[in-house]
Amino acid sequence: MSDKTLRVEVVSPEGSIYSGEAKMFFAKGAEGDLGIAPGHLQLLTSIAPGTVRIQQPDGKEEWLFVSGGILEVQPHQVSILADTVERPKDVNETAAKEAKAAAEQLLKDRKAGTPEFSEAQHDLAEAMAKLRLVEMLRAQRKH
């Protein structure tokens, strides 16, 4: 590893999902989007459901869907302990659309502040993040 790269580790309860070097790392933090470069200050935060993008030293990009978890940043290392992780090829667009519709219906039927409402909000965020990933990759393939 050089001073121009980060070591990136993404793990979930299923095991190590990604391990490698990166020029840049992007994720959706609980408070907004994060871009991490080598030498970044230390950080510990929760991450929201969304896409993780890893720019590798050779210019290629690795994309992952993360349902949430914890992100730890050291000056030359990024670690994610994720609840669940899916590679883009494993994201089921039809299932995500169905989950989005079901969550939207639950939000209409439930009262704000209830556990069911909070769970539906999380499910909606997760489904929408999966659909955004599918759309981003579809647009990328067109170029």
Q: What is the pLDDT of residue 119?
A: 83
Question: Could you say which DSSP state residue 59 is in?
Answer: S
For the question of whether the overall pTM of this predicted structure is more than 0.85, the answer is no
Rounded to the nearest angstrom, the gap between the alpha carbon of residue 110 and the centroid of all alpha carbons in its chain is 27
pLDDT-based confidence at 2, cuts 50/70/90?
A: low
- 143: pLDDT strictly greater than 70: no
Q: pLDDT tens-digit profile of 33-57?
A: 999 999 999 999 999 988 899 999 9
Report the candidate in 138, 9, 4, 134 with the shortest Cα–Cα distance to residue 58. 4
**Can you tell me whether residue 62 is helix, strand or coil?**
strand
Mean pLDDT, the chain, as a whole number?
88
- The alpha-carbon radius of gyration of the chain (Å, integer) is 16
Q: What phi and psi, each to the nearest 5 degrees, are found at residue 64? A: -140, 150
The pLDDT, as a whole number, for residue 8 is 97
**Domain co-membership, 104 together with 47:** no
70 and 133: one domain?
A: no
Q: Does residue 125 fall inside a structural domain? A: yes
Residues 100 and 73 reside in one and the same domain: no
Average pLDDT of the residues in 102-118: 82
Task: Provide the pLDDT for residue 25.
Answer: 97
Expressed in percent and rounded to 5, the helix, strand and coil fractions of the chain are 35, 40, 25
CA–CA distance, 79 with 12 (Å, rounded to integer): 11
Of 86, 118, 134, the residue that ends a domain is 86
